[in-house]
């Protein structure tokens, strides 16, 4: 199963924060990488590379991320993203262009989204996106 990994999950792996929650997501991302299930889109790559102050760190991260080729975006991805933006805005729900592009790619290619961004849980109530739950045992 392929998984579209959101910027926030990648950020956990790039930080040195060792909280249990972050450790779980880093471990899950490593597992997905090892199993070659990770998918990426260009806007997520851009977010990850933006704001890095040291050129050497930028070059190193850029090199590492090249192991994950981008899903080729098509005109319909952008059209669906705009439609999702308009649909949710009419319901009073705000989101970023990148978020809605992730949703469009997810729906069109039937790829779940791995994120901890709570906005996506709200989007999922109105859009046919699937959120990746990971391998954490369910409680209850």
User: What are the residues whose beta carbons fall under 8 Å from the beta carbon of 40, sequence distance 6 or more?
Assistant: 4, 5, 65, 68, 69, 70, 71
Question: What is 3-124's CATH topology?
Answer: Rossmann fold (3.40.50)
pLDDT tens per residue across span 78-133? 999 999 999 999 999 999 999 999 999 999 999 999 999 999 999 999 999 999 99
Rounded to the nearest 10°, the torsion over CA 107, 111, 113, 114 is 180
Q: Kindly report the pTM of this predicted structure.
A: 0.92
pLDDT tens per residue across span 52-78? 999 999 999 999 999 999 999 999 999
Q: Where are the domains of the chain?
A: 3-124
């Amino acid at each position: 199963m392929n998984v579209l990994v959101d910027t926030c999950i990648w950020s956990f792996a790039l930080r040195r924060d060792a909280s249990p929650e972050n450790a779980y997501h880093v471990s899950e991302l490593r597992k997905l990488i090892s199993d070659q299930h990770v998918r990426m889109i260009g806007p997520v790559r851009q977010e990850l590379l933006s704001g890095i102050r040291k050129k050497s760190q930028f070059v190193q991260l850029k090199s590492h991320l090249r192991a994950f080729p981008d899903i080729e975006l098509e005109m319909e991805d952008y059209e669906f993203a705009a439609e999702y933006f308009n649909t949710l805005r009419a319901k009073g729900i705000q989101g970023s262009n990148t978020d809605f592009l992730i949703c469009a790619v997810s729906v069109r290619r039937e790829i779940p989204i791995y994120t901890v961004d709570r906005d996506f849980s709200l989007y999922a109530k109105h859009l046919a996106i699937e959120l990746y739950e990971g391998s954490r045992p369910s409680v209850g």
